[in-house]
């Protein structure tokens, strides 16, 4: 299969969030560290030519703010993100269901969501031929602002388990 048919999936955890008193979890903003680290993710994506053409973002405030920082770094190459309430507090199966319905015209998809679902999904999708160092780092934890870059040779609808090659696990700092 030619590289043109490869689907690239970027699974990102939101940047570091604050814990203000009296604020519902869904409405928690980024902490100062989150505002510093989130742009570094966008910068890495741009520098490594891993630019999404579609972004699905949880509806929570901290994921929306993370997405804004990433898109700011991507500049003119940034797609218009789609808020997806189904990604908030979602487990890996629910997240995968959302991904399975992405149009096939999308070649590089970025999903910005939450723990523990985002890590569980990345581990579920990572195939045996994944980069072992990236897999071990991913398995040991998924810090805020971190993201996994996977490649899948099939359609979004066929993505299921151990059928995407994990190529990178990045913790921007």
Q: Which of 118, 52, 121, 108 is CA-nearest to residue 88? A: 118
How would you label 117-154 residue by residue, b for 16+ Cβ within 10 Å and e otherwise? bbbbbbbbbbeeebbeebbebbeeebebbbbbbbbbee
- Taking every pair of C-alpha atoms in the chain, what is the biggest distance, in angstroms? 53
In this prediction, what percent of the chain has a pLDDT beyond 90? 97
Residue 153 has pLDDT above 80, yes or no: yes
Per-residue pLDDT tens digits for 25-76: 999 999 999 999 999 999 999 999 999 999 999 999 999 999 999 999 999 9
Mean pLDDT across the chain: 96
Residue 4 has pLDDT above 80, yes or no: no
Tell me the C-alpha distance between 67 and 110, whole Å: 10
Per-residue pLDDT averaged across 82-105, rounded? 96
Per-residue pLDDT tens digits for 113-133: 999 999 999 999 999 999 999
Question: What superfamily does domain 7-15+26-170 belong to in CATH?
Answer: Phosphoglycerate mutase-like (3.40.50.1240)
- Please list the residues that pair with 126 across neighbouring strands: 164
If phi > 0 it is left, if psi is from -120 to 50 it is alpha, else beta; for residue 158 that is alpha
Whole-number pLDDT of residue 5 = 82
Query: How is the chain split into domains, by residue range?
Result: 7-15+26-170
Residue 15 has pLDDT above 50, yes or no: yes
């Amino acid at each position: 299969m030619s590289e043109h048919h490869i689907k690239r999936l970027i699974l990102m955890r939101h940047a570091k969030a604050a814990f203000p008193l009296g604020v519902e979890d869904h409405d928690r903003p980024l902490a100062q560290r989150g505002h510093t680290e989130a742009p570094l993710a966008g910068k890495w994506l741009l520098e490594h030519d891993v630019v999404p053409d579609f972004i699905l973002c949880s509806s929570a405030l901290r994921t929306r703010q993370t997405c804004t920082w990433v898109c700011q770094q991507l500049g003119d190459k940034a797609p218009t993100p789609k808020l997806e309430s189904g990604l908030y507090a979602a487990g890996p199966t629910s997240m995968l269901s959302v991904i399975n319905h992405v149009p096939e015209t999308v070649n590089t998809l970025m999903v910005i969501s939450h723990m523990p679902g985002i890590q569980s999904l990345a581990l579920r999708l990572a195939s045996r031929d994944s980069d072992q160092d990236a897999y071990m780092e991913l398995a040991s934890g998924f810090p805020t602002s971190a993201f996994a870059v996977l490649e899948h040779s099939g359609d979004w609808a066929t993505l299921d388990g151990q059928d995407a090659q994990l190529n990178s696990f990045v913790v921007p700092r």
